[in-house]
Amino acid sequence: MIQNNMMGLGKNRSTIRELFEFGRKRKAEIGAENVFDFSLGNPSVPAPKAVEEAIRELLSEKDPVSLHGYTSAQGDAGVRRVIAENLTARYGVKCDPDLVYMTCGAAASLTISLNALVGEGDEVAVPAPYFPEYRVFVEKAGAKLVEVPGDEGFGLDLAAMERAVNEKTAAIILNSPNNPTGVVLKEAELRALAELLKKKEKETGRPVYLISDEPYRELIYRGKKTALPAAFYPRTLTCYSYSKALSLPGERIGYIAVSPEMPEAGDVYAAVCGAGRALGFVCAPALFQYVAGKCDGVLPDLAAYDENRRLLTDGLRAIGYETASPDGAFYLFVKAPDGNARAFSEKAKEFEILLVPGDDFGGPGWARLAYCVKKETIERSMPAFRALFESYGA
């Protein structure tokens, strides 16, 4: 029998996808250059040159049968070793290659981790605003997503987290740099959260896992540094994706690293392998596993994103918009002039601007602009943004 919940998910596209499709039609009607499409987080800089070089090397070095053949279910051992060594060398976190599981991007990293660790009756606490697919992933795993409000600057509100975590909490999902706000959590916030979770574990007597969703880890500006939650909290699963850092979202490659610092790491890893198996996510795409092994840590053209970030933030603030202060990812959160983000997104369409209302992200009143676009799109959009702002009588 058709499962109604799945049919519902299939029929009701996400707001982001709806807008993207609207944009596609509108571009065909009036020309792509006349639509200011800030809807989708699709990297706008090409994959670094090292990716092409790695592919060429692999095609000439490896015999085609093994290059395109199955790897072990959890991924190629050599690639997992490189990833573990780099995590330790770059971020000072302990990592064991035998606790790394290669995945089809961050979405798979998250669904595998959730299915490994949460079930019926459990709660998963998520600081808001957050990536809307979390709700789909959490609910498919049988659990309930509990939104935890953030602080005024879209950082962690530890008091709210303290109130949200209880004996039903199986996991929390953290995402820094954040989609949709671009905010990067500070080391002090991560340390304080780690202490809070350890205290909660003692009080409730149950482990709380920290699922750290890190697809934007390297996309950081203004000389800011990022610390990894795994450095402070033993029960961490580092969920990574090469989609954004290597501009490879269509190739579907990432990983989960289970921290060896948690006492039950072997069992958690077994559950990760089991969830990967049950969900059909065994043996991530082989060619791109090897590319990841060669290019792990290679950075994209951050200067291009940084310039877009400055242009858009400064431009919108000069017009009068209130915005968040993004240090990472490629998103800017902008306040709807009258506080109604859905109406703001609809009105923006009249000015050929596509922006996503924050309501689905747990950030009502705000809208997300993905600035992974051509610089000219931002420059050319400014008169439209001004007209949009003035249409509010401001």
Binding track over 242-261 against ligand PLP, x by CB under 6 A: -x-----x----x-------
CB atoms within 10 A of CB 192: 15
Among 132, 215, 260, 300, contact with ligand PLP (rule: CB under 6 A): 215
For residue 177, is the peptide bond before it cis, meaning its omega torsion is within 30 degrees of 0? Answer: yes
Pairing of strands 236-241, 209-213: parallel
CB of 101 to ligand PLP, least distance (A): 14
- Whichever of 215 and 337 has its CB closer to ligand PLP, that residue is 215
CB of 229 to ligand PLP, least distance (A): 14
Residue of minimal CB distance from ligand PLP?
105
Nearest CA to 189 out of 209, 159, 167, 145 is that of 159
**241 lies in the binding site for ligand PLP (CB under 6 A):** yes
Structure-block tokens of residue 384: 């439209």
**362 lies in the binding site for ligand PLP (CB under 6 A):** no
**363 lies in the binding site for ligand PLP (CB under 6 A):** no
CB neighbour list of residue 11: distance below 8 Å, 6 or more residues apart: none
Among 15, 111, 169, 179, contact with ligand PLP (rule: CB under 6 A): 179
Q: Are 289 and 257 in contact (CB under 8 A)?
A: no
Find the part of the chain contacting ligand PLP (CB under 6 A) among 20-28, 102-110, 293-301, 353-361: 102-110
Among 83, 84, 95, 106, contact with ligand PLP (rule: CB under 6 A): 106
- Whichever of 113 and 385 has its CB closer to ligand PLP, that residue is 113
Q: How far apart are CA 27 and CA 236, in angstroms?
A: 43
For the chain, helix, strand, coil in percent to 5 are: 45, 15, 40
CB of 103 to ligand PLP, least distance (A): 8
- Whichever of 107 and 341 has its CB closer to ligand PLP, that residue is 107
Q: How far apart are CA 61 and CA 193, in angstroms?
A: 46
- φ, ψ (nearest 5 deg) of residue 308: -60, -40
Find the part of the chain contacting ligand PLP (CB under 6 A) among 99-107, 193-201, 287-295, 375-383: 99-107
For residue 300, is the peptide bond before it cis, meaning its omega torsion is within 30 degrees of 0? Answer: no
CB atoms within 10 A of CB 309: 25
**Binding footprint of ligand PLP on the chain (CB under 6 A):** 41, 105-107, 131, 175, 179, 213, 215, 241, 243, 249, 254
